[in-house]
Amino acid sequence: MITQIKGLHHVTSMARDAAENNHFFSKTLGLRRVKQTVNFDAPDVYHLYYGDEVGTPGTVMTHFPFPHIARGRPGVGEVGTTVFSVPEGSLGYWQERLAADRVGDLELSESFGEKRLSFRAPEGDALALVENAADARLPWTGNGVDAEHAIRGFHSASLRLRDGGATEELLKFMGYQNAESSGNIHRLIRPDGNPANSIDIEVLPDANRADLGAGSVHHIAFAVENRAAQLEVRKALLDTGYQVTPVIDRDYFWAIYFRTPGGVLFEIATNEPGFDRDEDTAHLGEALKLPKQHEHLRSTLEQTLQPLEEKEPA
């Protein structure tokens, strides 16, 4: 069994409109944009990161905004809902805030004994807030949400699958343990991990396969402390028969990827070196940062990438 995985590292989704994406995650949800860079494989497309003050693993939602991408179609073989943790008693505040911003599909419910507010981002991302009195993480409060209500980071994520058996065995191999079930949803928890330590498997045997597009999760990343731990995990996965990529330098972490039995793309990402490797903490996410192999494109990209925020009138 793999013991090095700590919980979630980040979740990466697809989008279409970079400015709308930036507004929703930073202004509406109150997260900090900790990095604006570009897709390594498509440098004319942003890679935007939102999280807590420093982009702590387990808090970071990231997006690739492809300007002409079609809307995704929900289904099986993908991450279903990305869930954030908020303080106890704060869902009323969030319901009012999201309704005022005309956020769609707002629904209050209770799941696994936790109060939950589900909703969709403007481009269709399935998101939820769960009240968690035990979450002691310090929130980012620089975007207008006070500490009594602010998002602490991820709570969990759900995987929508036709058959959850093989993926459940994989998660157990990755150090997760059975927790509880509710209807067609089975929860697994990584003991002694970071606070983003839960994965829900939602079994939908008759559902269609998902189509990737705006509002879809591209991949879900799990955290390991460092490169040595990542290499140990890679070897264990290869020995078990998974096809795993070589280690890839993503500037702010090192990454490996593999496809799960249910079709979801998993990443194992290191907690090092972090988002402050090329920016002071006080100014994270303010400047466009480019991978060294794309630095020669800076003048072009600065002219062609969509502005993220409206300029103040003169």
3-state secondary structure of 76: strand
User: How much is the pLDDT for 310?
Assistant: 60
**pLDDT for 142-166, tens place per residue?**
999 999 999 999 999 999 999 999 9
pLDDT band at residue 183 under the 50/70/90 scheme: very high
Whole-angstrom distance, CA of residue 216 vs CA of residue 25: 15
* Contact criterion met (CB below 8 Å) for 91 and 128: no
The CA-based diameter of the chain, rounded to the nearest angstrom, is: 61
Q: Which residues contact 300 (CB under 8 A, 6 or more apart)?
A: none
First to last CA, the chain: 60
User: Do 1 and 175 form a contact (C-beta atoms < 8 A)?
Assistant: yes
**Among 285, 284, 281, 252, residue whose Cα is nearest residue 269:** 252
Phi, psi (deg, nearest 5) at residue 287: -110, 155
| Cα dihedral 58/59/64/69 (nearest 10) | 100
* pLDDT cut 70: percent of the chain above it: 98
- pTM of this prediction? 0.96
- Residue-wise pLDDT tens digits, 69-123: 999 999 999 999 999 999 999 999 999 999 999 999 999 999 999 999 999 999 9
The Cβ of residue 58 has, within 10 Å, a number of other Cβ atoms equal to: 25
Residues in the chain: 314
pLDDT in tens, 196-246: 999 999 999 999 999 999 999 999 999 999 999 999 999 999 999 999 999
Query: Residue 302 has which token pair?
Result: 């600065």
Measured CA to CA, the distance from residue 140 to residue 25 in angstroms comes to: 12
E runs forming strands in 142-298? 153-161, 177-182, 185-189, 198-203, 217-224, 248-249, 253-259, 265-273
Side chain identity at 132, as an amino acid letter?
N
Q: Enumerate the β-bridge partners of residue 248.
A: 255
Amino acid 311: pLDDT: 46
Tell me which DSSP letter residue 223 carries.
E
pLDDT confidence band for 313 (50 / 70 / 90): very low
